Each structure stands twice: as structure tokens, then as C-alpha cells.
Amino acid sequence: MMPAWTEAGGADPDVVPEGADARARLLHSAAFGDGPASIAGRIGDGAAPPVDGPRRGLPAARTPRELWWRAVAHSGAGFYARAGSDLAVLTAAGAGAGWDALAASTAASLLRQMGCHERAAVLDGRALARLAGAGPAAAGPVAGHARADALTGLAADRLGRGDWRTAQRLLTRCRALLEPEGPRKARGACAAPRLLLRVHWVTAETAMTAGDAASAVAAARAAQEMLDAGAFPSERHRVKTLLVAAAAEAVAGRPVPAAGMASRAHAAARSAGLVPLRWAAAMLLAGVTENPTAATAESDVRACHDVLAVRGGDDPRLMRGGL
């Protein structure tokens, strides 16, 4: 029987607590550090046959925080079925409204990566409902992260249906949480870097959908400036930011810098074992370059697709059940 884990919601879930041991630090590094390449597996170069299973598996989690990091690391490497299982365990663990909501919003992000925007919206909405239903108990950084993730996720869900106006309104609500004014700001409230990066990404994507290339480029640059300042030392977030910037440059009609950024994102994603981002970068690279570069990129698109399918990416049913 799964233990009913509890964990204080007063600590930032993106940060390793002081005094954390090697197991916790390894899980955090796989999720928000150098990437999962040496831990959660990688695929071969080019069109190499897909590999199912890591060279070295992630350690078991002992707390809700570690379990969430484990799910995030599996997701970043494209092990969608494993990530879904981790999140289902977290949901069933009785760890509190904040962790329940964070599990739901994280599961929604997996579904979006598989193109299931409507089902993702259900989970993002469920996350917000769980927090609202908990009342004052849904306080602290874990609940705050979950709330911001769900709002940003809902904006991305709307973009999946072409509804950029609703996405803009949702992003405005999220910014109000992350950049408070008045008494909350006076008390030192501030945003976690990861949450702000996600808002910048979706702001750029919203602008691209709306046909506003200049705003898209500006939002992507804002995210890059955060990373250049050392705000969040996550390789996955660095690669995603580079990929968003490449797409913004492409929308702005500048294929040469777009191709350069996409190529860098593709190489970095491959090196870090970030198969979903490698797949996305290869697709963009194929669209903004000519042969032979485009043909090579298209080959890698197929290779990554095969890997992700083996790892659960072709089965949106993996989120049913506990979530």
C-alpha cells in the first residue's frame, strides 16, 4: 500500500533543500540541472534504432518533492509512461492539495507534448479546482507553483486550439501572481525563475500565434536574459528557451539566425538526452533549412518519434487512472 506522504509546502519545489543527500541531489539534477543524459537514457545519433530503457535508472523517491523531480526528469528524457506512473503515485499519495495540483499540471504538460491539448486543459483545470477547494490550506510555494503552472498551462492549451486571445488573458492572470503589486510586493513576494521562464515562453508562443513577431522575439529575449543572468541553471530550460527564440526568429522572417539557434538547440538537446526537445528542434531545423541539412533533420525527426513512441509518447491513455 502506498504511504500517505506529507511534506511541508513552505519550501520552493524547484530548489534542493539545505542538507539534501546525494539521492535527492541526483534527482534534482536530472530534472533541473545538467539534464538526464547519463541517468535516464539517451538515443543514438541520427536514425539509430530506438533504445527502450535507461543505461542507469533513476533512484526511487522518498518524498513528494523527489517523486515530482523524478517525474520531471523522466518527462524531459521522453519517458512519458514512466513520468505518468510517477505522477499517478504522487496523486495517490495523499501529500496535500499543492502536490496534487502540481502533479495534475505536470501531467497536463505531458499531454500537450503529445498534442492532446483538450485533455491537458482538463488536468490544468483540475489543478486549479483542487487548490480552490482546499481553501487556506492551499498556501505556500508548492501551491503557488502549481497555480502558476496551471494558468500558464491553460494558456498553452488554448494556443493549441488557436485561441490566442484567451491565452493572453490567462497569462495576465499568471503575471499578477508572479509579479505582485502593493502590499504583497512590499512583503517581498517574488516569482520563482522557472515560473517566469514558462510565462516568457508561452507569451512568445502566443505572440507568434497572433502574428506579432516583434513581441515574440522580445519575450524570447527576456527568457534568455534571465538565463544569461544565472536565474535558473537548468539545461532543459536553456534548450527550450533557445528553441522558442529560434521559432520567433523564423516567424519574424529571419531564417538564417533561426537555423543557427535551432541547430544549437538540437545539438544541446541531443547531448543532454532531452529527446522531446531534440525532436522539436529537428522539426524546426527541417523547416528553416535546405538539403542536405533539412534531410538530416527530417531523419532525426523520425528517429526521435520512434524513441518517444517506445517510451509511451504514442499512447495518451497513459495518463488515465490515478490522474
- Using a 10 angstrom Cβ sphere, with 0-12 exposed, 13-18 middle and 19 or more buried, the burial of residue 221 is middle
Q: Within 10 A of 115 (CB to CB), how many other CB atoms are there?
A: 12
Q: What is the pLDDT at residue 147?
A: 95
Q: Within 10 A of 315 (CB to CB), how many other CB atoms are there?
A: 14
Q: Report yes or no on 106 lying in a domain.
A: yes
The DSSP secondary structure of 229-276, one letter per residue, reads TTS---HHHHHHHHHHHHHHHHHTT-HHHHHHHHHHHHHHHHHHT-HH
Q: What is the pLDDT at residue 315?
A: 64
Q: Report yes or no on 29 lying in a domain.
A: no
Contacts of 225 (CB under 8 A, 6+ apart): none
Q: What is the pLDDT at residue 313?
A: 79
Q: Report yes or no on 209 lying in a domain.
A: yes
Find the distance separating the first CA and the last CA of the chain, reported in whole Å.
18
Query: Sign of the CA dihedral 132, 158, 200, 116?
Result: positive
**How many Å is the Cα radius of gyration of the chain?**
19
Query: Model pTM?
Result: 0.88
Q: Report yes or no on 86 lying in a domain.
A: yes
The set of cell numbers assigned to 146 is 502549481
Show the domain range for 202.
38-50+62-319
| CATH code where residue 137 lies | 1.25.40.10
Query: Sign of the CA dihedral 202, 204, 209, 210?
Result: positive
CB-CB contact of 165 with 211 (8 Å): no
What phi and psi values does residue 174 have, to the nearest 5 degrees? -70, -40
CB-CB contact of 172 with 42 (8 Å): no
Q: Report yes or no on 74 lying in a domain.
A: yes
The set of cell numbers assigned to 94 is 495523499
Mean pLDDT by 10 residues, the chain (323 residues): 48 87 91 69 36 61 94 92 93 92 95 89 96 83 94 96 96 88 43 92 97 97 95 94 98 96 96 93 95 94 91 65 40
Contacts of 76 (CB under 8 A, 6+ apart): 30, 31, 35, 36, 40, 236, 274, 276, 277
Q: Report yes or no on 21 lying in a domain.
A: no
- Using a 10 angstrom Cβ sphere, with 0-12 exposed, 13-18 middle and 19 or more buried, the burial of residue 322 is middle
The stretches of the chain forming alpha helices (DSSP H) are 22-32, 37-40, 64-76, 80-92, 97-113, 117-134, 141-159, 164-178, 182-186, 193-210, 213-228, 235-251, 255-272, 275-288, 293-308
Query: Sign of the CA dihedral 56, 32, 309, 265?
Result: negative
- Using a 10 angstrom Cβ sphere, with 0-12 exposed, 13-18 middle and 19 or more buried, the burial of residue 46 is exposed
Q: In whole angstroms, what is the distance from residue 176 CA to residue 174 CA?
A: 5
The total domain count for the chain is: 1
Q: Report yes or no on 114 lying in a domain.
A: yes
